[in-house]
Amino acid sequence: MGQEIRAATYQEADFQRFCQRLQAETELLGRLVAAKACSEAEPVAGFEIEAWLLDAQMRPAPANQAFLQSFGQPLAGPELAKFNIELNTPPQPLTGAAFASLHKQLQQTWHDAVRHARQMDLHLLAIGTLPTLEQGDLHLGNMSDMNRYRALNQQILQNRSRPICLDICGHEHLKLEHRDVMLEAATTSFQLHIQCPLSQAHHIYNASIIASAAMVAVAANAPYLFGKDLWAESRIPMFEQAIAAGGYSGAADGPLHRVSFGSDYARQSIQECFIENLQHFPVLLPEPFDDAAEAFRYLRLHNGTIWRWNRPLVGFDADGTPHIRVEHRTPAAGPTVIDMLANAAFFYGLVKNLADERAEGGAVLPFAQAKDNFYQAARHGLDCHVVWFGNRKQRLANLIEQELLPRAGLGLDALGIRNRDALDYLGIVRRRVASRQTGSQWQRRFIEAHPGQFGEMTRQYLQRQLGGEPVSSWGI
């Protein structure tokens, strides 16, 4: 959840003080990494789901404050818009019966939230972009009442000095201007976290980058935005353009972007990402803290305003030892809890396999190629062509079926995941790929059969989501 802050406006002295503390904490983290003083604990998994509150007409309902106050769950919180919430699950060691435990936790959390929404005559929906959303819904009156969001809006627009221009070419073309950062609220995701042993952190980060093309394709669930059919996963260009604030030049089209695929692999250490944060991204939220540098409050807040699709994070073990996590942000929310668990199993297994191979000097793919694969997959889904190891070009669906799913199985086995769980969850991904029916494809097939019926599609999607069957088995 986004860290709340005390102030909504700042003075120049606030930025200067923050930058000094940020530099000191970045240098401290570098010393700890060099001294191998960060956690080497075995991998730990966790999830975040962003979801929509809807009214009876399947339109966004700006009621998250009332919902969260009466729901009263510490692992639930607000998102940018008043019609979005975020649900979290407790971290779970990534071994043994981890997926059965994670599934039980996520299913119960989701069930409780859905039931609470119904008690308020609302619906809760997990989907990448809401088909019934209109641009007019994304105004500052629908911004959640948090200083963090008000300050981000002010700072990003100040850095840009001009309106946000959204320009997405897909099956159709969407071009529009918007005056605030509320465009970001159109995108909702299922974010996967993996806490890494320090010695493996940069390999896991790099493996997550390589795995991103397959992940964004199998989890695609956002073809429509404001009635336009765009990319298989339209969240990707939408979020990148909605938060474009540039680097230290202040230009929105600077060399490094706030939301991006990143600039390169971590070559020697995960610390390279935090050095890049310090050197290339202006401070947006110069909040003052009284904590010691070892709490990394300045580094963590600054890192929270840079949204790489694979983002390294700093946290702490129970004994206070700092640890590294990688947050994988490419999957859309939904279509069902079991689909999201299957996506998680595919991600954790594939990344473990690729990271182990990279640690041995293998799994070599140029960063530029991994990036191109990702955007091809986001735009065209499972039917795109990607270039893989050995400069092999092939259809992504075939690569997933023939190589990446077996790799994920080996990775889950290496983690010690119970074999029955690995087979069950990876089997859901396998059937989805074989049927070519992701959430995105189901939505397109529905609209092809019922042109323009976005409200009815959303209602049918909600009913199927409540039914809980994997999206591969959904009919029109």
DSSP 304-336: TT-EESEEEEEEE-TTS-EEEEEEE--SBS-S-
How far does Cα 382 stand from its chain's mean position? 19
* Dihedral (Cα; 30, 36, 41, 47), 10-degree rounding: 10
User: Which among 278, 233, 273, 257 has a CA at the least distance from the CA of 377?
Assistant: 233
Dihedral-angle region of residue 161 (phi above 0 means left; psi in -120 to 50 means alpha; beta otherwise): left
| Residue 245: per-residue pLDDT | 57
Q: Contact, 159 vs 55, CB < 8 A?
A: no
Distance in angstroms (rounded) separating the CA atoms of residues 260 and 49 = 20
Q: Classify burial at 305, counting beta carbons within 10 Å of its beta carbon; exposed 0-12, middle 13-18, buried 19 or more.
A: buried
- With a CB cutoff of 8 Å and minimum separation 6, the contacts of 463 are none
Q: Contact, 166 vs 174, CB < 8 A?
A: yes
The model's pTM: 0.96
Q: Contact, 118 vs 53, CB < 8 A?
A: no
Instruction: Please provide residue 86's backbone torsions phi and psi, each rounded to the nearest 5 degrees.
Output: -125, 135
| Percent helix, strand and coil across the chain, each to the nearest 5 | 50, 15, 35
And the tokens for 423?
A: 């087979």
Q: Contact, 246 vs 237, CB < 8 A?
A: no
The secondary structure element, H or E, covering residue 392 is: strand 392-395
| Residue 256: per-residue pLDDT | 83
The secondary structure element, H or E, covering residue 394 is: strand 392-395
| Residue 312: per-residue pLDDT | 98
Question: 255-279 b/e with 16+ CB inside 10 Å = b?
Answer: ebbbbbbbeebbeebbbbbbebbbe
How far does Cα 435 stand from its chain's mean position? 25
Distance in angstroms (rounded) separating the CA atoms of residues 129 and 335 = 11
| Residue 353: per-residue pLDDT | 98
289 three-class SS? coil
Instruction: Please provide residue 212's backbone torsions phi and psi, each rounded to the nearest 5 degrees.
Output: -60, -35
For CA atoms 118, 331, 276, 293, the dihedral sign is positive
* Dihedral (Cα; 176, 182, 187, 192), 10-degree rounding: 140
Digits of tens for pLDDT over the chain (476 positions)?
466 777 667 889 999 999 999 999 999 999 999 999 999 999 999 999 999 999 999 999 999 999 999 999 999 999 999 999 999 999 999 999 999 999 999 999 999 999 999 999 999 999 999 999 999 999 999 999 999 999 888 888 877 768 889 999 999 999 999 999 999 999 999 999 999 999 999 999 999 999 999 999 999 999 999 999 999 999 999 999 998 754 433 333 456 899 999 999 999 999 999 999 999 999 999 999 999 999 999 999 999 999 999 999 999 999 999 999 999 999 999 999 999 999 999 999 999 999 999 999 999 999 999 999 999 999 999 999 999 999 999 999 999 999 999 999 999 999 999 999 999 999 999 999 999 999 999 999 999 999 999 999 999 999 999 999 999 999 99
Vertex 204, ends 201 and 210: CA angle to 5°? 145
419 three-class SS? helix
| Tally: H helices and E strands in the chain | 15, 16
